[in-house]
């Protein structure tokens, strides 16, 4: 065991500086960060737009859908003057007054509109026969089609109120009733510059069906100045029974007058249009005259001029709905484009990954002559007392000849002492003042004795065959660096929540990182060799100037620099390492925040590669472009999927929405199955994939958004050290306490040869070992 000292270098995982002296209690005034305020304001504004658009475009039904059956036992408070009276009910006074239609007088009324398809066709039939009608409009639909209200008035027909979102007024609160009417009135004011005092309650029918709840709502609407217009005759056109049936249903009995109920929205209304073209001339031939309800019973004309403030407020509301609709429609199209791109990319990535796997594992494949040159393994360590012993033991147990160089970067927990106390052969400890991970790596490179260098984190363990497999690609002289296969190690003594977080990361490592590396291998544009397991030629490291401290993602920065020099960077899936992953969501947030921000820093540093020629240009136009589009831009838009899921459940058809979400999830599950089979991973952990989409994925979105805001704001982050829990020593072949061999111990196959074990760590490991390769 050798011991050395080295001069300090610059930033990285710096320790917190000691206080210069005692300080008294100091109260700090908390102020939110500008970036956080900006994001919150943007989310609130976007939420308001979605709410406005959802209310304006919600899938309201026709009156027959969801209507209640009249309960004759709930009519004891309804006076006989109402149940035996006419369809026009005035509740603005102390006692309700009803009025019936005069003989041979018809008032045509249309509910649930306006509709851009059917309302103009109905207006054309009315104009053809010179007949007026009253259109009781739903405010949410009218706000999206204000021009149709102006067409109705220009054609000589009336506009009445049918609430804003089509609720049963007898089943809602007084506050809700007032809001439904006020919002619809505003839309009518803004669209036509006029008012309306005629109200058709949703799900209402004839006067003899009015019950206690309905009468209560009529009194409340009367207090707001509205006159209720029921119906005498229901055409039942919402059933689409056929043109003949609609004409027959709409005929009044004998010579009696009637208010006829029809619909110009809420479904396909071609039968209504055709029936209306027959009904009007039939009734005209029988001597009926057509008018409006209030004119027939002697009430003042509806649709009087609105006040200037009311008109302005209504116009503003309509404008807001238009803006919200435009924004949501644009985002919906953007989501569609994003979805198509993501699915196409996923299919291509899996196809290329499968091709890479088949090529590397086909019989007879070889990188070249077996690489037997000794390897220097550099282990940068800062306060890694929980795992450093396990890391070093796993390296010493390597089947390939190695020297292990542990660079203690000013640890305060005795990390270097632990390694020295092991007294293992071919292990050296290099102590230096805290200077950061790049500094520690560069010190290790400078003191390494061999031309092949492997870098490993201090919270990672190797299988016995890992080093030999990792350096075998160097048999190809064009290979300058090799990315290994990092696996998530989750010690069994962790609690359920930590195990769950580890499993989610395990899914991400297999589905995301490792599939991506296979594709980058084929395209020769590898952006990152993981810090947990990577191999390099010393000459390549010296060529790029060693490990830079310019970014928080020193592994990504180094890999990009190597790719730009023209050296080939490959992925070796059989070289496996087990690394401790964050066990809690806050720790995961800190780690991924650093990764994401550091990757953005590295991309910005190497941005000129996009314009370069040769290998550097290839990396820039493939690797950097892919990262920019699919790792930053599209993931920033990915939350739209979840936003529109909630939007669809609330405002659209929830069954259709859930089916679409299930289809997207099924595609992801299929992709996960393919990725897991490539890695020879057991599939049982995939039952957590749906839950990962609900919790884990949202955290990754938040990390990316926060990182983007930080990067755009020019804020520089410091290294964020994670709390280690340890437990990796349980994976080793010969734990110091003499327990049974761990899952990374060599084992014998059927032929009596030693094999590197690949059993699972609970809960996130590999069960099926990869075969030995030439």
**CA-atom Rg of the chain in angstroms:** 37
Question: Mapping DSSP to helix (H, G, I), strand (E, B) and coil, where does residue 205 land?
Answer: coil
Beta bridge partners of 161: 137, 199
In contact, 182 and 326? CB cutoff 8 Å: no
| Token representation of residue 232 | 């005498």
DSSP track, 163-180: -SS---GGGS-HHHHHHH
DSSP code of 134? E
Tell me the pairing of strands 158-161 and 134-137: parallel
Angle at 350 (CA atoms; ends 602, 765), nearest 5 degrees: 80
Please tell me the distance from the alpha carbon of residue 559 to that of residue 543, in angstroms, as a whole number: 12
Helix (H), strand (E), coil (C) string for 43-64: HHHHHHHHHHHHHHHCCCCCCC
- Is the Cβ–Cβ distance between 448 and 378 less than 8 Å? yes
| Catalytic-residue membership of 311 | no
**Residue 742 in contact with residue 728, Cβ under 8 Å?**
no
CA angle 486, 487, 489 (to 5 degrees): 135
Tally Cβ neighbours within 10 Å of residue 711.
19
* 419, 377 Cβ separation under 8 angstroms: no
**Cα–Cα distance measured from residue 223 to residue 7, given in angstroms and rounded to the nearest whole number:** 86
Integer Cα distance of 174 and 435 in angstroms: 68
The whole-angstrom separation of Cα 168 and Cα 165 is: 10
Please state, in angstroms and rounded to a whole number, the distance separating the CA atoms of residues 136 and 618. 64
Residue 535 CA from chain centroid, whole number: 36
Tokens of 16: 């917190």
Catalytic member of 166, 263, 506, 626: 263
Token pair in block for residue 469: 């497999």
- Selected catalytic residue, list 111, 213, 409, 516: 111
CB atoms within 10 A of CB 641: 18
Cβ atoms of 651 and 49 closer than 8 Å? no
Cα torsion 79, 82, 83, 88 to 10°: value is: -170
- Strands 227-229 and 198-199, bridge-based pairing: parallel
DSSP 3-state of 111: strand
- Alpha-carbon gap, residue 597 to 219, rounded angstroms: 62
Could you tell me the sign of the dihedral formed by the alpha carbons of 298, 299, 301, 303, in that order?
A: negative
The tokens for 574 are 């059989």
Q: Is 753 among the residues known to form the active site?
A: no
Q: H or E stretch including 189?
A: helix 174-192
DSSP secondary structure code for residue 286 in this structure: T
Question: How far is residue 623's CA from residue 531's CA, in Å, rounded to a whole number?
Answer: 19
Beta strand segments in 266-381, E: 289-290, 375-381
Is the peptide bond between 424 and the residue preceding it cis, with omega within 30 degrees of 0? no
Q: How many CA atoms lie within 13 A of 232 on its CB side?
A: 25
Spatial strand order of the sheet with 479-489 comes to 2-6, 427-432, 402-409, 375-381, 452-455, 534-537, 479-489, 568-580, 460-462
- 577 beta partners: 462, 486
Q: Which helix (H) or strand (E) holds 461?
A: strand 460-462
Q: Are 407 and 432 in contact (CB under 8 A)?
A: yes
Residues annotated as catalytic are 111, 263
């Amino acid at each position: 065991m050798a011991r050395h000292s080295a001069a300090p270098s610059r930033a990285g995982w710096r320790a917190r500086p000691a206080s210069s002296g005692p300080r008294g209690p100091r109260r700090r005034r908390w102020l939110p960060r500008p970036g956080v305020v900006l994001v919150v304001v943007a989310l609130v504004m976007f939420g308001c737009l979605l709410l406005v658009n959802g209310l304006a475009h919600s899938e309201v039904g026709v009156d027959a859908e969801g209507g209640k059956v009249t309960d004759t036992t709930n009519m004891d408070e309804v006076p006989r003057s109402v149940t035996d009276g006419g369809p026009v009910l005035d509740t603005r006074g102390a006692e309700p007054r009803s009025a019936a239609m005069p003989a041979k007088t018809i008032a045509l009324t249309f509910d649930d509109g306006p509709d851009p398809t059917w309302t103009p066709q109905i207006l054309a039939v009315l104009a053809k026969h010179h007949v007026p009608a009253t259109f009781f409009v739903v405010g949410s639909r009218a706000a999206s089609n204000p021009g149709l209200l102006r067409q109705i008035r220009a054609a000589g027909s009336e506009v009445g109120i049918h609430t804003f979102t089509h609720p049963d007024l007898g089943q809602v609160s007084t506050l809700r009733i007032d809001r439904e009417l006020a919002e619809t009135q505003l839309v009518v004011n803004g669209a036509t510059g006029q008012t309306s005092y005629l109200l058709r309650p949703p799900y209402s029918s004839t006067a003899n069906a009015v019950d206690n709840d309905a009468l209560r709502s009529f009194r409340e609407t009367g207090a707001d100045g509205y006159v209720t217009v029921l119906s005498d005759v229901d055409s039942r056109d919402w059933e689409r029974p056929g043109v003949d049936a609609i004409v027959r249903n709409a005929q009044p009995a004998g010579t009696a007058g009637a208010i006829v109920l029809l619909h110009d929205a809420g479904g396909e209304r071609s039968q209504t249009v055709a029936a209306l073209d027959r009904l009007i001339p039939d009734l005209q031939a029988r001597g009926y005259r057509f008018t409006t309800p209030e004119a027939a019973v002697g009430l003042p004309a509806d649709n009087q001029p609105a006040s200037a403030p009311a008109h302005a407020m209504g116009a503003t509301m309509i404008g807001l709905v238009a803006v919200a609709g435009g924004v949501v429609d644009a985002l919906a199209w953007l989501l569609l484009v994003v979805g198509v791109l993501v699915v196409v990319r996923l299919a291509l990535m899996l196809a290329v990954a499968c091709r890479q796997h088949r090529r590397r594992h086909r019989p007879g494949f070889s990188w070249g002559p077996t690489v037997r040159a000794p390897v220097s393994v550099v282990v940068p360590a800062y306060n890694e007392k929980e795992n450093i012993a396990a890391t070093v033991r796993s390296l010493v147990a390597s089947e390939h000849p190695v020297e292990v160089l542990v660079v203690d970067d000013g640890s305060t927990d005795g990390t270097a002492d632990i390694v020295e106390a092991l007294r293992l052969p071919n292990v050296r400890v290099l102590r230096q003042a805290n200077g950061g991970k790049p500094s520690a790596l560069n010190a290790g490179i400078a003191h390494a004795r061999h031309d092949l260098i492997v870098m490993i984190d201090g919270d990672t363990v190797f299988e016995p065959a890992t080093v030999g497999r990792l350096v075998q690609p160097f048999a190809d002289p064009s290979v300058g660096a090799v990315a290994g296969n990092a696996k998530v190690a989750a010690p069994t003594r962790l609690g359920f929540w930590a195990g769950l977080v580890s499993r989610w990361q395990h899914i991400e490592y297999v589905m995301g990182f490792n599939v991506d590396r296979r594709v980058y291998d084929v395209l020769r544009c590898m952006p990152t060799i993981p810090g947990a397991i990577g191999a390099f030629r010393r000459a390549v490291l010296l060529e790029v100037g060693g490990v830079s401290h310019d970014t928080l993602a020193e592994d990504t920065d180094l890999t990009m620099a190597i790719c730009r020099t023209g050296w080939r960077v490959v992925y070796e899936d059989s070289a496996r390492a087990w690394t401790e992953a964050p066990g809690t969501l806050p720790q995961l947030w800190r780690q991924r925040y650093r990764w994401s921000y550091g990757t953005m820093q590295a991309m910005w540093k190497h941005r000129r590669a996009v314009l370069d020629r040769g290998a550097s240009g290839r990396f820039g136009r493939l690797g950097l472009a892919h990262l920019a589009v699919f790792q930053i831009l599209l993931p920033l838009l990915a939350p739209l999927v979840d936003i529109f899921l909630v939007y669809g459940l609330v405002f659209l058809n929830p069954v259709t929405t859930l089916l679409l979400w299930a289809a997207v999830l099924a595609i992801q599950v299929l992709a996960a199955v393919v990725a897991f089979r490539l890695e020879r991973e057991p599939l049982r952990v995939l039952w957590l994939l749906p839950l990962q989409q609900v919790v884990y994925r949202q955290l990754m979105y938040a990390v990316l958004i926060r990182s983007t805001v930080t990067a755009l704001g020019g804020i520089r982050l410091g290294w964020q050290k994670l709390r280690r829990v340890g437990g990796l020593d349980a994976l080793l072949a010969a734990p110091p306490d003499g327990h049974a061999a761990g899952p990374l111990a060599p084992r014998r196959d059927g032929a009596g040869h030693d094999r590197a074990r690949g059993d699972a760590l609970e809960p996130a490991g590999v069960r099926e070992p990869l075969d030995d390769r030439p």
